[in-house]
């Protein structure tokens, strides 16, 4: 696998972009979009996150996004409450589409061209997922937001992000969370918790570090796509970390 450092050298020789990554998959949980609220969308947070994405686009980075739906409906919780799991997961996928449209709206309000592509066809609302078309959109500087997960129940949005990142030949998956990386124990509970700068896919799986589910980690590993875990709660952090600055943890093969 080409190391991140090698990638930096290769890409910096062909691109003026300060980022080592040409094409980035941003994965965010739905909870990020609810800000301080207990449920739904917080418009100022959606706007702030969109502005963060715009900053990366302005640097010449191609960005695609997968967002979750935990702020609206969580399939796993629905199933735990006695709902049929498949039905609950489909409801979660519809929640993702709502988040995707909210992000699209906020991005376009600030002049960023976007396309929403859904894994489940709903042609009156957005485009269907077509890989080659998505790549073309990104090459034109449009943010492509992949909605409805993988389109299948029993798969998480983390897996959807790893799948789309693989299909789109993304250079990295940037997992935006509420903390600035991966710790050896919960930093909210233990003030002495240590953040890893770098960790291997295998360690993530064997130490059960819970960055993403095992399917997503395996898919990223098989396709040699590094995963960068960073705080998406900090304004401007997405572009900063995409340029390998600030705090984050990178998950790679080594
Ligand atoms: P290029 O012409 O290839 O640069 O891409 P484009 O997306 O600008 O062209 P296209 O004619 O495919 O789409 C024009 C507009 O229609 C865009 O806003 C698309 O998002 C939208 N659009 C395209 N296909 C669909 C669809 O199946 N459903 C919905 N709802 N919108 C679509």
Percent of the chain with pLDDT over 90: 85
Whether the pLDDT of residue 195 is over 80: the answer is yes
d(CA 104, CA 146): 11
d(CA 53, CA 47): 10
Three-class HEC string of the chain: CCCHHHHHHHHHCCCCCCCCCCEEEEEECHHHHHCCCCCCCCHHHHHHHHHHHHHHHHCCCEEEEEECCCCCCCHHHHHHCCCCHHHHHHHHHHHHHHHHHHHHHHHHHCCCCEEEEECCCCCCCCEECCHHHHHHHHHCCCEEEEECCCCCCCCCHHHHHHHHHHHCCCCEEEEEECCCCEECCCCCCCCCCCEECEEEHHHHHHCCCCCCCHHHHHHHHHCCCCEEEEECCCCCHHHHHHCCCCCCEEEECC
Q: Would you place residue 3 in the very low, low, confident or very high pLDDT band (cuts 50, 70, 90)?
A: very low
Q: Ligand 1: which of 127, 131, 138, 148 to mutate, judged by most atoms within 8 Å of the beta carbon?
A: 127
Q: Are the CB atoms for 26 and 34 separated by under 8 Å?
A: no
How, if at all, do strands 127-128 and 172-177 pair?
unpaired
Whether the pLDDT of residue 4 is over 50: the answer is no
Mean pLDDT, all residues of the chain: 92
Q: Which of 4, 140, 142, 119 is nearest to 67 (CA)?
A: 119
Q: Which domains does the chain have, with CATH numbers?
A: 16-252 (3.40.1160.10)
Cα 4 from chain centroid?
Answer: 19
Which pLDDT score, from 0 to 100, does residue 27 have? Answer: 98
Distance (angstroms) between ligand 1 centre and the Cα of 140 equals 13
Half-sphere exposure in the Cβ direction for 185 (13 Å, CA): 5
Distance (angstroms) between ligand 1 centre and the Cα of 128 equals 10
Other CB atoms within 10 A of residue 39 CB: 11
pLDDT per position as a tens digit, 45-75? 999 999 999 999 999 999 999 999 999 998 7
Distance (angstroms) between ligand 1 centre and the Cα of 146 equals 14
Burial class (CB in 10 A: 0-12, 13-18, 19+), 190: exposed
Which pLDDT score, from 0 to 100, does residue 125 have? Answer: 98
Whether the pLDDT of residue 133 is over 70: the answer is yes
* Ligand 1 pocket residue status of 123, Cβ below 6 Å: yes
* Ligand 1 pocket residue status of 127, Cβ below 6 Å: yes
pLDDT per position as a tens digit, 18-51? 999 999 999 999 999 999 999 999 999 999 999 9
Which pLDDT score, from 0 to 100, does residue 16 have? Answer: 58
Nearest-CA residue for ligand 1 atom 21 is: 127
Cα 62 from chain centroid?
Answer: 13
């Amino acid at each position: 696998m080409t190391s991140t450092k090698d990638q930096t050298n290769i890409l910096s020789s062909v691109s003026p972009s300060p980022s080592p990554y040409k094409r980035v998959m941003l994965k965010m949980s739905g909870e990020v979009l609810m800000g301080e609220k207990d449920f739904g969308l917080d418009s100022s947070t959606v706007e702030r996150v969109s502005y963060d994405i715009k900053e990366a686009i302005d640097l010449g980075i191609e960005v695609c996004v997968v967002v979750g739906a935990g702020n609206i409906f969580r399939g796993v919780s629905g199933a735990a409450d006695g709902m049929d799991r498949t039905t609950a997961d489909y409801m979660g996928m519809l929640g993702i589409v709502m988040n995707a449209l909210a992000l699209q709206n906020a991005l376009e309000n600030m002049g960023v061209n976007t396309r929403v592509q859904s894994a489940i066809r709903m042609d009156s609302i957005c485009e269907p997922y077509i890989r080659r078309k998505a790549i073309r959109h990104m090459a034109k500087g449009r943010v492509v937001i992949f909605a409805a997960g993988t389109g299948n129940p029993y798969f998480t949005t983390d897996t959807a992000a790893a799948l789309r990142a693989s299909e789109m030949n993304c250079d990295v998956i940037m997992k935006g969370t509420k903390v600035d990386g991966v710790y050896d124990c919960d930093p909210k509970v233990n003030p002495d918790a240590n953040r890893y700068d770098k960790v291997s896919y295998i360690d993530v799986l064997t130490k059960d570090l819970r960055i993403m589910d095992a399917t997503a980690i395996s898919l990223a590993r098989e396709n040699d796509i590094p995963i960068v875990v960073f705080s998406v709660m900090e304004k401007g952090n997405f572009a900063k970390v995409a340029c390998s600055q600030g705090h984050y943890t990178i998950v790679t093969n080594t």
